[in-house]
Structure 1
Amino acid sequence: MKRLQVLFFAFIFFVSCGNNENDTVQKSFADKSISNGRTTAKKFLFDNTKAETAGNADWVIDEDNNLAKRLPTPAQENINASTPETYWTGALSSWGIALVKQKQQVETLQENGHITYGDSKNMQDLSHYDVFIIDEPNIRFSNNEKSAIINFVKNGGGLFMIADHDHSDRNNDGWDSPAIWNDLMDNNTIQKDPFGFSVYKTNISQRSSNITAVKNPVTQGLQGEVTSLQFNNGATITLTSPTAKGLCWMNNYPQNNIRAMAAYSTYGKGRIVVIGDSSPADDGTGAKGNKLHDGWNAVGENHSNFFINASLWLAKLQ
């Protein structure tokens, strides 16, 4: 009888230990996909490795003492429906907070971070994210970074590309965002012109209501309709493949393959959205001393609809 009791308690101990270990493994796995206690969250990574805060730019969701940390502070878990964009400090704080209110998770790839895809040693490898957002890069991508970004999209990732006007070289290294984006698409080791468009190096300022009437998830998505885009010194997009579709064109231009102000496309299993100006995403707040302009909440515009619709589509949520 005593032997049976010993075997019984040994069995209970073994099962208990096994369950504890399994709980730890399950929790570790769940932590990778839970955002704010929500298992359905998608992960959005905002880049800050390409001088996105150089000069008068401030294209981050949050920075404290001029440092954009990986996780914005205060914690995004405490954001609710009434949280103002001033909860974080950055010209893209409205965008970041709006995504969290949509039950998504946001992070920043810090200034000293690395753009990789398939690197198990990099905790912020693109394979851990659903959407990569790069607002007006001012440093050229390396060959390895180009491959990482293109393969990320090819294998199902979402890429949000934001350019700015010609000669918008904010860090004076000889490269501006239109040239940097074109270099990514023209000079890589995977495929020339993978996304079916290029950035036309120009400088336009106008409010265009020349929006496509073709039903699509960006200008007619879950967040609401987009009726116009206001550019304050931006570039345009040239469509080079039927894969890419225009979303808005300059006023008085036909809706064909030139002078688009925004477009969307697919490549492999992934998706891409491109817009030629950083102004519509700018919420007018950021680091002290920067001269920013509120395009996100511009009177008469619905830019927030554009960026949230596009974000949800890139994350395959619509």
Structure 2
Amino acid sequence: MKLINNFLFAGLVAITFSCSNDLEKENKTTARTATTTTALAVTPKKFLFDATKAETAGNADWVIDADTSPQRFPTPAQSNITATTTESFWKGGLSAWGVALAKLGHTVETLPSGTPITYGSTGAQDLKNYDVFVIDEPNIRFTAAEKTAILNFVKNGGGLFMISDHTVSDRNNDGWDSPAIWNDLMSNNTVKTNPFGITITLNNISETSTNRLIATTNPILNGSQGTVSNLKFSNGATMSINKTANTTVQGLIWRGTSTQGTSNIMCASATFGTGRVFVIGDSSPADDGTGATGDTLYPGWTELASHAILHMNASLWLAKL
């Protein structure tokens, strides 16, 4: 890959750029193949993937690079990623996602187990140092301080990517599974009750739906990475929304036989303060099928083309791109 002034030029089209007098004279163009579709040069953003809430318990492998224990910087270094790098460059169930973001010039890091989730502290991995915080199927309840940190991060401009799983999916047997943990964050905190206007339904569904929001201008369903046409849940939970609690919340994809109302929603988005939130009720679509030895994983990321597009469009929307 070629980095010029911290920009990564990626896409299926040639992008002409000029960063110095010499380059202006040469008038070069560069073409790169993106993971999904065309992506233009952008200001790099920082994405932080959580690994503090037992995201690798049981068969879960919801990290960009498993290693022995997920560490802050994935190895090998992402500076070695090129347009042809495959997801196996890193070893984790979310490596395809991480590599795709790196190909667009963004920085990806992991918040290792044992590291506190903070906002406004002096720590190197304090949330104020990142644009988007990704939490894929948390299996340990957030502390009161962590809830405050996460909600204030969003309220003050951050992006939160929330991934749930189905009810009774407690992988570490501590009495809490991801739907209950997310609902606890949103209903039991000192910042605001139901700040996003979203509640995870305690159910378990498996189906493929094409019942997506009709609006063609929605940046998550119709973004720079392509158009989302369908979504498959392989044991996931739906959600309901409350526009009285948050006037900006909206469903994006519903169960196939449902009306586009306030329930039976498979993924949704909202703003809170100056920040943004995206919620999806199943971890399967982000799973790239590879990870730590012994884990049973499935290639959800490539099972439907829309899965990678949805997660990438949502990631970039959360980063305000």
Deviations 1:136-179 (A, max 9, x none): 00000000000000000000000000000000000000000000
For 1:86, the equivalent position in structure 2 comes to 88
Residue 97 of structure 1 aligns to a residue whose secondary structure is helix
Q: Alignment partner for residue 267 of structure 1, among 263, 267, 272?
A: 272
Structure 1, unpaired ranges of 5+ = 1-32
In 2: Cα distance, 1:177 partner to 1:232 partner: 15
For 1:49, the equivalent position in structure 2 comes to 52
For 1:218, the equivalent position in structure 2 comes to 220
Structure 1: which amino acid aligns with 2:320? K
Structure 2: which amino acid aligns with 1:310? A
In 2: Cα distance, 1:280 partner to 1:40 partner: 27
What's the CA shift for 1:36?
Answer: 7.9
What's the CA shift for 1:266?
Answer: 0.2
RMSD: 1.6
For 2:310, the equivalent position in structure 1 comes to 306
- Written as runs of structure 1 = structure 2, the 5 A alignment for 1:97-108 is 97-108=99-110
- Written as runs of structure 1 = structure 2, the 5 A alignment for 1:26-175 is 40-64=43-67, 66-120=68-122, 122-175=123-176
Residue 257 of structure 1 aligns to a residue whose secondary structure is coil
In 2: Cα distance, 1:174 partner to 1:78 partner: 41
Structure 1: which amino acid aligns with 2:61? D
What's the CA shift for 1:286?
Answer: 0.3
What's the CA shift for 1:62?
Answer: 0.3
What's the CA shift for 1:35?
Answer: 8.3
Structure 2: which amino acid aligns with 1:51? A
In 1: Cα distance, 2:150 partner to 2:276 partner: 12
What's the CA shift for 1:222?
Answer: 0.5
Residue 45 of structure 1 aligns to a residue whose secondary structure is strand
In 2: Cα distance, 1:253 partner to 1:288 partner: 39
Structure with bigger gyration radius: 1
Compare the two structures and name the one with the higher helix fraction: 1
Structure 2, unpaired ranges of 5+ = 10-40
What's the CA shift for 1:229?
Answer: 0.4
Which moved further from structure 2: 241-250 or 225-234? 241-250
Deviations 1:245-275 (A, max 9, x none): 1110001100010000000100000000000
What's the CA shift for 1:34?
Answer: 5.6
Residue 203 of structure 2 aligns to a residue whose secondary structure is strand
- Written as runs of structure 1 = structure 2, the 5 A alignment for 1:194-205 is 194-205=195-206
What's the CA shift for 1:39?
Answer: 8.9
Contact in 2 for aligned 1:94/1:283 (Cα 8 Å): yes
Q: TM-score, normalised by structure 2?
A: 0.86
Q: TM-score, normalised by structure 1?
A: 0.86
In 1: Cα distance, 2:305 partner to 2:166 partner: 21
In 1: Cα distance, 2:285 partner to 2:42 partner: 31
Q: Percent identity?
A: 58
Residue 52 of structure 1 aligns to a residue whose secondary structure is coil
For 1:10, the equivalent position in structure 2 comes to none
Misfit runs of 4+, over 6 Å? 35-39
